[in-house]
A and B are shown apart, each in its own frame.
Chain A
Amino acid sequence: MKRQTLENPSDTSLSRVDGAVKVTGRATYSAEYAVPELVHAVLVTSTIAKGSITTIESREAEAVPGVLAVISHLNAITVPGWPPKKQPAERMPVGTAFRVFYDPLIYFDGQPVAMVVAGTREQAVHAASLVRVTYQKETHQTHFEKNIHQSGIAQNVQRSKNSPFQDYERGDAGALANADVKIEAEYTIPTQHHQPLEPHAIIAIWEAEDKLTVYDKNQGVKSAQGQLAQAFKVPRENVQVVATYIGGAFGSGIRVWPHTMAAVMAAKQLKRPVKLVLGREQMFTSVGYRPYNKQKISIGAGKDGRLAGIIHEGTGQTSMYEEHLERTVLASRALYASPHVATRYRLLPLDVGTPTWMRGPGDATGTFALESAMDELAYALKMDPLEFRLKNYAESDPERNLPWSAKSLRECYELGAEKIGWKNRLREPRSVKRNGMLLGYGMASSLYGFHRHPSKARAVMHADGSVTVQSATMDIGPGTGTAMMRIVSKVLGLNAKKIRFELGHSALPDAPGQNGSSTIPSVGSAVHAACEALKGKLIGLAREMPRGTGQEWSGVVRNGQVLGSGDDKEGISYADILKHHHLNELEVTEESKSGAERDQYSMYSFGCHFVEVEVDPLTCEVRVTRVVTCADVGAIINYKTARSQSIGGIVGGIGMALMEHSAMDHRFGRYVTTDFAGYHIPVNADVPPIEVYYIDKPDMQANPIGSKGLGEIAIVGVAGAIANAVFHATGKRVRELPITPEKLI
C-alpha cells in the first residue's frame, strides 16, 4: 500500500503542465479572446416566475449611443432546428429544452427575456437597465415543501422499464418490520449552486453564413458542437467549439444553456462577433443547480448489528418542462450488504429552471441521508459507527449479484481510522471538550459508479522524437493534460518535456465531456491505446532496421528509445527510427471502450472520510478542524493533482454541509441569495488541514490503465461525515442542511 505525500521523495508526480500559464495570468478563458469587431451583450431577465410577456418597451434602450439591438422573442431570428412557433404560444411539453427568445411564455424567474447588444459593456449594461418588460402574471408554485404532495414518478421513468430510477425492491419486506432496532428519519437538502469562480461566458463568431466558431465555457466541446450544429442546421464540421481553459464548472457546463444560444443567435442576426458574460447574479438562474431534495430512510438491524433492511425514498425538484433525474436513492442498493432494500424516487415539477448535475450528483445527497441514518442506527445499537459499517460490508454487489471488479474499502476504513485516531474516540456524544469547544468525530463511507465512454486519441510522433497527443477532452480543473502526460510518458518511455497534450477543441478526436468522473477511465484508456499502438509501430519500424549479428530490437522502450535485446542494451532513438524510414511524422488514432467486463463485474470507486469538528457551546458555530479522506479509485495516475482533487471535494462537502443554501422568496419565486455575500461558499479560514490517502491498487478489470474516477467520490459522503461529527460533538442530530448555528441551539 503506497502512502505518498507531496514531501515523499519517491513521489514522481508532475506539477501541472499548465501551471506557468495559470500563475502568470496567460491562460485564456472563454471571455478573453481578442476578436476584432467584437460587441458586448447583456441579458435582461424575467421578474416573474410564471406567466407571459405582454410588452417589451425597448425604444429608450435602443436610443442609447452604441446600442446595436435589443433582441427578444419579438425580433429574434428563427432557429432552424426549433419547431415552428404556435399562435397563441403553448407551454412546452415535458421533456423539452428551454428555447430562448422563442415565445412570450415565462417558466421561471430570471429567465432571459431580452438581450441588449452594444459596442461596449458599459453601454450594454446601461441600456439593459432601460428595457421595460410588462407581464401577464400567473400563480407560480416554487415552494418544495408545500407542493411535495404533487410529486410523482417521472414520465420518462414510467416509459422506460430498465430505468435505474424505477422503484426497486429486494429481499423480504417483513425483515425490516421485525428488526430489533429501527429508526426512521427525514433528511432535507436545499437547492445549492455550482458557482465556479469564472462566470459562464461565450464569444460567438459566424465566420460565414454556415460557419460558426464559439469560445464557450462548457464541459464538452463535442457535445456542444453537435447541439449547435443541430440547432442551426449546419454541418457538424462547420461548427467549432473551443474551451481550452475553463475556470471551474462542477457540472454547470454539461449542457448548452440558453445564454449560449442567445449569443449565437445575436451574432447571426447582427453579423458581428458577440461576447456575453453572465453576471454573478445570473449564475443563479442560468446554468442549473443541485436540486432541492427530501429523503426518508427507514433502516433496521438485529442486535448483532447486521442490517435487516433499508427503505430509501427520495424526491427531487425539477422544472415544469424537463425531468432532471439523480441517483439520490441508488447508493442504498449497493453500499451495504442489507438483505432487504427498497428504493423509490419521485420528482416534483415547480416553476423553476431545470436543475443539473452538480459534483457527486445524487450520490452526494443520497449518502448524506444514508450515512446519517447508518450513524443514527449505530448509536441506537450502541455500536461503534465504523464497526457497524464493517459488520455490513458488501463483499460483492448486493444489487446486481456480481463480484466487484475491485474493492478495497476495508483498507480505506483501516487507514482512515488509524490516521484520525478513531480508536481513541469516546463513543458518548457531547462528552469531550477541547479549549472550551465541544469536540466530535464522525465518519462516512462513499461510493461512486464507474463510467467509461467510447473515446478516441491521436498520437503523433514528430521527427525530433517528441510526441503530440490529442483528444477533444476537457480540463475544468482536475489537471487532465497533466494526467494524460503521465500515461503517455509511461507507455512511450518519454520525458514529459517531449510530450504535448492538446484538448478542449471540437476539431480533435472524439471524447466525452468531462463529467461523471469519466475522463481518466475513458480518455486515459484511449490515450493509453494510442500510445501503445504508436509504440508498436516504432518497434516494428526498428525491427526493419539492420542490427549487429544475432541482435534484435527488444519490445522495450525507455528514454525515447527502443532498446536492444540480449547483452547489447544499446537502443535506437525514436528520432533515428523516423529518420531511417524517411518519415516526418508517425501518426496513430485509436478508439477505446468498455467490453464484456461490464456484465461480469460491478464497478465502483470507494472511499471514506473521517472528520473532526469543534462546536462552540455558546454560539453553536461549527468548525471543521481536521479531515482524513481515503479513497480506492484503482491506480492513481498523478498523485499531486489527484490529491488536490480530493481536497477540493472535501472543501465542496464542507460548503454543502455547513453553509450552502440558495434561499428563495416564494412570494416572487426568486432567489434572494444571488451573490457570494448571500450564498456562502467555504473561504480559506473555513478549511482545515486535509489529509489524503489512496490505496492505489490498479483495477485491471475496469480498463487498461486500472484507474477509476476520482472527481465525484471526493465529495460523496462528506456532508454525512460532518453531520455525524456534529452529532458526536453536540448530541444533536441535524437532518436538514446546511448545519447552521440556529439548528443546533
Chain B
Amino acid sequence: MDTDHDAIPPDAPDEDRRFFLKQSMFIAGLSMAPADFLQTAQALEDAPTGNAVKVRLSLTINGKRRRISIDPRMTLLDLLRENLGLTGTKKGCDFGQCGACTVHIDGRRTLSCLTFAVMQHGAKVTTIEGLSEGEKLHPLQEAFIKHDGFQCGYCTPGQVMSGVACIREGHAGSAEEVREYMSGNLCRCGAYPNIVDAILEVKKEGSKV
C-alpha cells in the first residue's frame, strides 16, 4: 500500500493543518486547471494515482494520530478498510443509504462512505475498534450480545456506533424514539426489535456511554 501512517506525537505543532489548507487550495485549483498545468502539477507531486495527485493529511483515529498520504478520491471508509486494516467499519452500499459505515467524527455519527478522507484533516475519528478499551466491551456491545441485536453481524458495527450516538444525543427516551433515530441503519436480517431493546436497556441503566 502507498499509505504512510506513522503515528504523530500528540504534541506535534499544528503545521499539518497549514500544510493541508495549502494543499486543498491547490487541489481546488486543479479542478479548474487546463490539462497542461495538470500534468506539470502531477510531475511535482509524489507518485500520481490515476489522474489525481496524492494528498497528505493527518487525523486522529481511535486516539492515535496518523499522518497519511492518500489518493484524494478515497473515502474515509476505504481509507479505514483498505489502507489501515480497520475492517470493523463496513461497506454496505457506498451511497450513504444503509448506515453500515457509521463512525464518529468529532463525536458526531457520520457516514464514512460519504466522507472523503481528505476532508477530515485534523478530525478525531472513532471507529468500532476504538469504542471499547482493551478486551472490555462497551455497555452497548454487551447489550447487543445479551439481546441478540444482530444475526449475520455485518450491519452491527454501524448499529452500535449509531446506537451509542443515539443515546448520547438524548434520542433514546422511548422505543418509538429509538426506532426513529435508528432508522438510518438498515438490518436485512431484521434484528430491529432486539436492537431497540439493547439501546433502551443501556439508556435505562444509565451506564456511561
Contacts and interface: CB of A to CB of B under 8 A. Distances in A.
A234 B130 CA distance: 44
6 contacts: A16-B145, A25-B128, A247-B152, A247-B155, A676-B95, A687-B192
Closest 3 A/B residue pairs (Cβ): A25-B88, A651-B190, A247-B154
B127 A641 contact: no
A197 B191 contact: no
B137 A676 contact: no
Given A65-B49, A120-B82, 4 more contacts: A6-B148, A16-B148, A126-B51, A197-B155
A597 interface: no
Pick the most buried of A23, A640, A650: most chain B CB atoms within 10 A of its CB: A23
Contacts of B151: 248, 477-479, 641, 644-645, 648
A24 B192 contact: no
Interface string B122-160: 000001110110000100010011111011111111001
A685 B179 contact: yes
Interface in B160-192: 160, 178-180, 182-192
Nearest to A479: B151
Contact of B145 (A20, A121, A685): A20
Q: Is the interface of B mostly helix, strand, loop or mixed?
A: loop
B50 A123 contact: yes
B104 interface: no
A172 B155 CA distance: 53
A122 B55 CA distance: 14
A198 B180 contact: no
A26 interface: yes
B195 interface: yes
Given A66-B50, A247-B152, A675-B93, A644 B194 contact: yes
Is the interface on chain A under 10, 10 to 19, 20 to 34, or 35 or more residues? 35 or more
Contacts of A677: 95, 97
A127 B50 contact: yes
Interface string A266-291: 00000000000101100000000000
Nearest to B175: A689
A681 interface: yes
Contact of A647 (B91, B144, B156, B190): B190
A24 B137 CA distance: 8
A644 B148 contact: yes
Pick the most buried of B51, B87, B184, B193: most chain A CB atoms within 10 A of its CB: B193
A644 B198 CA distance: 14
Contact of A25 (B87, B146, B192): B87
Interface in A1-60: 6, 15-16, 18-29, 31-32, 34
Interface stretch (B14-22, B32-40, B73-81): B73-81
Contacts of B179: 684-685, 687
A18 B49 contact: no
Interface of B: 2, 48-52, 71, 73-74, 78, 81-82, 85-95, 97-98, 100, 127-129, 131-132, 137, 141, 144-148, 150-157, 160, 178-180, 182-196
B96 to A, nearest CB: 9
Contacts of B194: 644, 647
A197 B190 contact: no
A682 interface: yes
A65 B81 CA distance: 22
B49 A123 contact: yes
B97 A676 contact: yes
Given A15-B146, A120-B71, A23 B49 contact: no
Contacts of B196: 684
A643 interface: yes
Interface of A: 6, 15-16, 18-29, 31-32, 34, 64-66, 120-123, 125-127, 194-199, 245-248, 250, 277, 279-280, 476-479, 640-641, 643-645, 647-652, 675-677, 681-687, 689-690
Contact of B156 (A22, A64, A643): A22
Pick the most buried of B88, B148, B183, B194: most chain A CB atoms within 10 A of its CB: B148
A25 B92 contact: no
Contacts of B100: 197
Pick the most buried of B51, B151, B180: most chain A CB atoms within 10 A of its CB: B151
A305 to B, nearest CB: 35
A648 B189 contact: yes
A325 to B, nearest CB: 25
Contacts of B146: 15
Nearest to B48: A65
Contacts of B48: 65
B20 to A, nearest CB: 19
Nearest to A33: B87
Contacts of B128: 23-25
A24 B183 contact: no
Nearest to B130: A25
A197 B88 contact: no
A650 B190 contact: yes
Contacts of B93: 199, 280, 675-676
Contacts of B157: 23-25
Contacts of B132: 24
Given A279-B94, A684-B179, A23 B152 contact: no
Contact of A22 (B87, B98, B150): B150
B91 A277 contact: yes
Contact of B98 (A197, A685, A686): A197
A499 to B, nearest CB: 18
Contact of B193 (A25, A65, A689): A689
